[in-house]
Amino acid sequence: MVKFFGVRELLELLRILGVEEFLSNLIRYIRDDYLRWEQFEKIARVASHSPQGVIELMPICDDELYTFKYVNGHPVNTQSRRLTVTAFGVLADVRTGYPLLVSEMTISTALRTAATSALAASCLARGGSTVMALIGLGAQAEFQALAFKAGLGIRKLQVFDVDPAAVAKFNANMRGLGMEVVSAGSIAEAVHGADIVTTATAAKRNAVILTSDMIGPGVHINAIGGDCPGKTELDRDLLARGRIFVEYLPQSRVEGEIQQLSVHSGITELWEVLAGKRPGRLSAADVTIFDSVGFAIEDFSLLRYLDDLSKTMNLHREIDLVPLLEDPKDLFGLLRALPASQPQRAGRAG
């Protein structure tokens, strides 16, 4: 039997643990795995693009565990009341190839994306940052807000979205969660005075959400919306001005903000900063940019965390995804053991 976390099980976990505790623990799991970066077999995700969106597979493994995630990104889905992003993931044993755990990863992807954002900001943003601007209030927004509260102590949010319904949704969801939310009338108004700026827009196009003149010295930018070819959020002048950090350069230079650049020298992978191999912020005046597209190691961490929780909290289900055989060479024997079906007699027309 294979352990299974569906939407119901994950929501129960979050109810018991609390979203902020879950995020705080997940940040630690992701940090631990990034510090083991060189132990992983890594490839850029495999993407199948269409005019409507993208479907991707994201595999990674170390010597013991293998994971992959199936994930889509279809901004047009909201027009038919469907999610822009859906996903599921698998954790498997490298030694046998047997799946150990299958999980929903639609909610989980939002959680791990937010946890990664907070982890990066913890070593790139100025110390004592208290105010974050959040541009784009779609499905990721609340998770980002709570991760920055749990991981960095952010208490004030200055938010903007072109859709008033998204602003109303965000404000309603954040009520009572211990954060001050200020709705701005423009992007420039939202980012004014912010220590950290998170961009999380969904449109699949080369957009310019932030321009260099909007950003003062010392700001950390957490750019998570530009996550596939032809989809960007930051002005090239802002990229030229900032110190840029990515998850996995071979993937980011195709999908991230840095796809706009012809030269990728001087760009640092996040694991190098966490491991102390390369510097992050050099001065309080630096503009730092985390060009995040999402990488498979973060899904690995999430699935590993869920597997550990399954051993201490009996909330998962079990599914018979793999057959149990007395003789592993006799797969067909399962069919022979089926009860004989009764022949169906054809009726005669009266």
| Residues acting as catalytic residues | 227
Residue 118 structure tokens: 């907070």
Q: How far apart, in whole angstroms, are the C-alpha atoms of residue 229 and residue 205?
A: 9
DSSP reduced 3-state for 132:
strand
Alpha-carbon span 87 to 95, nearest angstrom: 25
The pair of structure tokens assigned to 147 is 């991760």
Output the CA torsion 108→306→26→280 (10° steps): -90
For 176, half-sphere exposure in the C-beta direction (CA atoms, 13 angstrom radius) is 2
Q: What are phi and psi of 259, to 5 degrees?
A: -65, -20
Distance between CA 133 and CA 154 in Å, rounded? Answer: 10
Q: Can you tell me which residue has the tokens 């150990």?
A: 100
* Dist CA 314 CA 324 (whole Å): 23
Query: Distances from the Cα of 323 to the Cαs of 2, 99, 226, 273, 332, in angstroms?
Result: 10, 12, 42, 45, 11
How many angstroms separate the CA atoms of 294 and 71, rounded? 11
Q: Is 95 exposed, middle or buried (0-12, 13-18, 19+ CB in 10 A)?
A: exposed
Strands of the chain (E only): list them.
Answer: 2-5, 41-42, 46-49, 54-61, 65-73, 87-93, 99-104, 131-135, 156-160, 180-183, 196-199, 206-210, 220-223, 232-234, 243-246, 268-269, 288-291, 317-319
- Residue 49's SS3 state is strand
